[in-house]
């Protein structure tokens, strides 16, 4: 679940703009690299996979605060370029449902898009190293590793934001203008986020989720390889 569930008005402007700029550049490159005939052929797949991603990303697994992304599946089936377009559409739609702010759509697209990109190329690599008979292992491992890397990127984004938590949760009132320690606020809140504690919490909570998504990815890709192998290995058709 490498997704920033952060409302608008929290992250610094430079970070938000960087996310949107990077997303715009990658989208332009993805559209440029994707042939018009290929894009038209994959439009139905984009719709189906985007719909599945929206459903999965809006259903949390409560005990571990995790939701399935299906981003690696999107990368493997659609290819990294088309998957990035799909992920942008998904992030924009779920932001309208309050699943993170509109302003962080750019950052979320970059982070989740990284999962699709990394997952696709890891899947191709594992298929070569392990062999095509081990498609479940290849797709499952690709999903887990891609999620670990993208979550690390998410932690890096949170660290770069350097947001004061007491301002975010309104400790100083409705209109805080300065940070003080008159209300016995813990020092770690005054100094900003403790990135080590945050990273440890994220890694512990999401470890189970990564394994779960890896298993789901493995079974879905295995099923697709049986019913529509041309989606995974178009060179065979």
Find the CATH number of the domain harbouring 101: 1.10.1760.20
Rounded percentage of the chain residues whose pLDDT exceeds 90: 40
More confident residue, 222 or 183: 222
Q: Would the pLDDT of 39 be above 50?
A: yes
Give the distance from CA 166 to its chain's centroid.
27
Q: Would the pLDDT of 173 be above 80?
A: no
- Quick one: pLDDT at residue 181? 42
d(CA 92, CA 104): 9
- Quick one: pLDDT at residue 175? 47
Is 63 part of a structural domain of the chain?
A: yes
Is 7 part of a structural domain of the chain?
A: no
Is 177 part of a structural domain of the chain?
A: no
Q: What integer is the mean pLDDT of 201-224?
A: 85
Is 5 part of a structural domain of the chain?
A: no
Q: What is the number of other CB atoms lying within 10 angstroms of the CB of residue 54?
A: 18
Domain that holds residue 124: 13-172+184-233
Q: Number of structural domains, the chain? A: 1
Is 53 part of a structural domain of the chain?
A: yes
Q: What integer is the mean pLDDT of 42-62?
A: 85
More confident residue, 66 or 185: 66
What token pair was written down for 166? Answer: 């007491």
Residue 193: which residues within 8 A CB-CB, separation 6 or more?
158, 159, 162, 163, 165
Q: Would the pLDDT of 189 be above 50?
A: no
pLDDT digits (tens, 9 = 90+) for 151-170: 888 888 888 877 654 445 44
């Amino acid at each position: 679940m490498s997704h920033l569930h952060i409302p608008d008005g929290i992250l610094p402007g430079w970070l938000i703009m960087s996310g949107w700029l990077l997303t715009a550049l990658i989208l332009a490159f993805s559209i440029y690299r994707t042939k018009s005939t290929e894009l038209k052929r994959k439009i139905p797949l984009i719709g189906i996979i985007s719909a599945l991603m929206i459903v999965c990303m809006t259903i949390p697994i409560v005990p571990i605060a995790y939701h399935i992304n299906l981003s690696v599946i999107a990368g493997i089936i659609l290819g990294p370029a088309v998957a990035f377009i799909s992920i942008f559409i998904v992030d924009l739609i779920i932001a309208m449902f309050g699943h993170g702010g509109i302003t962080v759509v750019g950052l979320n697209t970059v982070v989740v898009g990284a999962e699709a990109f990394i997952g696709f190329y890891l899947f191709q690599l594992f298929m070569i190293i392990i062999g095509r008979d081990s498609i479940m292992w290849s797709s499952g491992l690709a999903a887990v590793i891609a999620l670990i890397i993208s979550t690390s990127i998410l932690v890096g984004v949170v660290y770069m934001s350097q947001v004061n938590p007491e301002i975010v949760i309104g400790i100083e009132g409705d209109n805080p203008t300065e940070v003080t320690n008159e209300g016995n606020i813990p020092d770690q809140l005054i100094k900003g986020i403790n990135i080590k504690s945050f990273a440890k919490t994220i890694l512990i909570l999401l470890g189970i989720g990564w394994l779960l998504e890896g298993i789901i990815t493995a079974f879905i890709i295995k099923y697709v390889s049986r019913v529509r192998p041309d989606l995974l290995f178009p060179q065979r058709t």
